[in-house]
Amino acid sequence: MSLRPFSPFIIAGILLVTSFAPASADRDSAPFPLKSEMAPNEPDRQPIPQDAVVPGADAGNGAQEENKTFYTYETLTEKLKKLADEHPGIVQLYDVTSWIESRYGYRQTWEGRTVWAVRVSSSPKFNDPGRPKIIVECSHHAREWMGFETGMALVDALVDSYKAKKDINCTINISGADWSAARLSWLVDNRDIWVIPMVNPDGITLDQKMFAEGSGSWRKNVRDNNNNGVFDPDYDGVDINRNYPWMWCHNTKGMVTINGVSYTQDSSFPGSSQYHGPQDNYDDDGDAVISGAPDWWIQRFGPDWNGVDEDPSDGIDNDGDGKVDEDWDGGLSEPETCAVNALFDALDSDGEHMNGISDVSISVSLHAYTGCVMWPWGYTSEPAPHAALMEGIGKKMAAYASYDAYQSAGMYLTSGDTSDWFYAAKGTLPFVIELGTGDQGGFHPKPEMMDNISMPNVQALLYCAEVADVAKVAFEQKATSLDIGIPVITHTPKKEIPAGQEYRVDAKVENATNLAKNGLTLIYRSGTGSWSTAGMGKTGEGKYSGVIPGQSGGSRLEYYIRSRDIFNTTHFSPPYAPYDVFSSKVTGLAGGTLMWGGLGAAVLIAGLALVWKVRRQRLARNVPDERPPA
């Protein structure tokens, strides 16, 4: 049977069309790689379009959102629940007042409110041991509204970036500094970031009411100190940032003057704005001389006589029983401080943070309004054991907002505050950020000032999240800085690589002696296909190399390098992989493979046309076909 006259052109057309199909279309056309095909522990990511826009981002000129208002407890609760409902994969909301383990039986604040904690992380595990952790506590003091606004600005930035993670190049403008969606999404995928937006919801509600009425401001919670059932602003309330056990009641003498107003550093008088709460008066360790008798004498002021509250939280075995700090004299008398403490306890996997090491790497307490960053100690002017390390981190945090940075006691001596307790008893690196200045509105700035105050400090909080892994190692090693010898990878990618040929990836590693065994891994894919891995071997002093198999012409190779070190931390090059990757265009034909490009298809068409022309001429001359009949 002879061919129809148009047959060769049909064949040529088919070849021409198929010649431009991707060589690995079965892989590259998939919307995202199957998890079973992923490299071990690598996240499953969809293709990255280049036209996405970050929801809620401004135009990059620092413009404020219109019609902004401060959160109330009710609007904050509504917002948190909405975030958790709409983004269950990365936002989890917890009632930490329900976690309190206290003989007081607290399950709510004095006025029946909840202390919420929100966790931003893509890990399904509540306390993922592979995720470095930070905790941000906001607004211990009721009138310091920028605390909860800044905490929520951090949550919004992380959620918005993760929603926009499909666009690796889009940015979220944070105080004029562009933080890529890749960078923030990487944090969500590699950190556990906890925020307690309103530590003191009762006090904040009262302060907002007083502000609206023009009747002053409020600092404390709303404890009924005289138990008369009537709120008395001249007597009620506890300063919950004086209500933590470490060195509780230590500094109860002296005054400090700030902006013409005199404050006590710490007070046992309930009417003081810095009242530290009631004495414990409870025999925690069961060694009282007279069972059930109260302690009428604060242990710090003289020798114990009845075995009640005789071993306060100060790091010393005061009663010589071989135990340390087991019979506090005060602190954690309030539901708010108990709730914060409950979160730290819940994140302590081994139950031993009282011995100095917590699963939480960094904690930050947001206050207002001195424009500074501080770290322990607050109860004494003596430097803390990790003073140099905290100073280095604190100064970096302060630089984002051009704040001052100094030890907490440099402002004035305190006792029973968050930083000293979290550092001494929980084993974290704690910081305080005093948000804003008097020129920016003090305790109650105008709504249009919110972003100007919060966003530079959101950067400081993001920085804390980024360095949380190294900071924890530095804390445990008693290092004086974050420069502990983490391996640093340097690699320069090629813009183009030839098709079908192995691609050798060379890298230089600073501090290579601190790499774990087989600590470098090359992770690559073609286009948006599935990720594959290859080892990287040592080729010289601080030099390593790995090989990626030959790729199809016309495709794009994406890859990054993962390092694991002796400190049990993991890092990437580029730093925010797999959202940010090295990329090389694969050019030419794949050697040794049968693959038609556009030029090959054109040559084939021309050849077929010539053959058909000759055949037609032979038919025209009645030249018999030499092939056997069909």
Amino acid identity for residue 189 in this structure: D
Which CATH number does the domain 73-278+330-477 belong to among 3.30.420.40, 3.90.1640.30, 1.10.357.10, 3.40.630.10? 3.40.630.10
Q: What integer pLDDT is reported at residue 132 of this predicted model?
A: 96
Task: Compute, in degrees rounded to 10, the torsion defined by CA atoms 214, 216, 220, 222.
Answer: -50
> Is beta strand 133-138 parallel, antiparallel or unpaired with respect to 360-368?
parallel
Q: Please name the residues in contact with 465: beta carbons below 8 A apart, sequence gap of 6 or more.
A: 132, 134, 187, 191, 193, 362
Q: Domain residues of the chain, as ranges?
A: 73-278+330-477, 487-587
Q: What integer pLDDT is reported at residue 326 of this predicted model?
A: 85
Of 2-16, 240-254, 442-456, 505-519, the one with minimum mean pLDDT is 2-16
Of 66-75, 251-260, 465-474, 612-621, the one with minimum mean pLDDT is 612-621
Q: What integer pLDDT is reported at residue 583 of this predicted model?
A: 95
Handedness of CA 10, 11, 12, 16 (dihedral sign): positive
Amino acid identity for residue 452 in this structure: N
The residue among 316 and 597 whose pLDDT is bigger is 316
pTM summary value? 0.82
- Cβ atoms of 85 and 63 within 8 Å: the answer is no
CA-based angle 522:525:530, to the nearest 5? 115
Give the pLDDT band (50/70/90) at residue 281. Answer: confident
Q: Give strand pairing partners of 557.
A: 526, 584
Of 21-35, 245-259, 275-289, 580-594, the one with minimum mean pLDDT is 21-35
Cα distances from 184 to residues 3, 138, 154, 158, 538, in angstroms, run 63, 21, 10, 6, 32
Give the pLDDT band (50/70/90) at residue 310. Answer: confident
Amino acid identity for residue 319 in this structure: D
Give the pLDDT band (50/70/90) at residue 606. Answer: low
User: 395-408 pLDDT, tens per residue?
Assistant: 999 999 999 999 99
Tokens of 366: 């947001």
- Cβ atoms of 542 and 515 within 8 Å: the answer is no
Q: What integer pLDDT is reported at residue 533 of this predicted model?
A: 97
Pairwise CA distance, residues 575 & 583, whole Å: 14
Give the pLDDT band (50/70/90) at residue 62. Answer: very low
Cα distances from 533 to residues 516, 520, 524, in angstroms, run 17, 10, 6
- CATH C-level class of 487-587: mainly beta
How confident is the prediction for the chain on average, in pLDDT?
82
CB atoms within 10 A of CB 613: 10
Give the pLDDT band (50/70/90) at residue 367. Answer: very high
- Cβ atoms of 222 and 209 within 8 Å: the answer is no
Q: Which is nearest to 192 in space by CA: 464, 457, 425?
A: 464
Of 346-350, 365-369, 428-432, the one with minimum mean pLDDT is 346-350
Average pLDDT on 357-362 reads: 86
DSSP letter (8 states) at residue 408: G
Q: What integer pLDDT is reported at residue 381 of this predicted model?
A: 92
Q: What integer pLDDT is reported at residue 528 of this predicted model?
A: 85
584-601 in b/e burial notation, b at 16+ Cβ within 10 A?
bebeebbeeeebbeeeeb
Tokens of 578: 């797999």
The answer on pLDDT for 55 being more than 70 is: no
Average pLDDT on 555-566 reads: 96
Q: What SS3 state is found at 431?
A: strand
Give the pLDDT band (50/70/90) at residue 283. Answer: confident
Average pLDDT on 121-137 reads: 94
65-101 in b/e burial notation, b at 16+ Cβ within 10 A?
eeeeebbbbeebbebbeebbeebeebbbbbebbebbe
- Cβ atoms of 20 and 552 within 8 Å: the answer is no
pLDDT > 90: what percent of the chain?
62
Rounded-to-5 percentages of helix, strand, coil across the chain:
30, 20, 50
Phi, psi dihedrals of residue 190, rounded to the nearest 5°: -135, 5
3-state secondary structure 561-594: EEEEECCCCEEEECCCCCCCCEEEEEECCCCCCC
Q: Give strand pairing partners of 36.
A: none
Q: Do domains 73-278+330-477 and 487-587 have the same CATH topology?
A: no
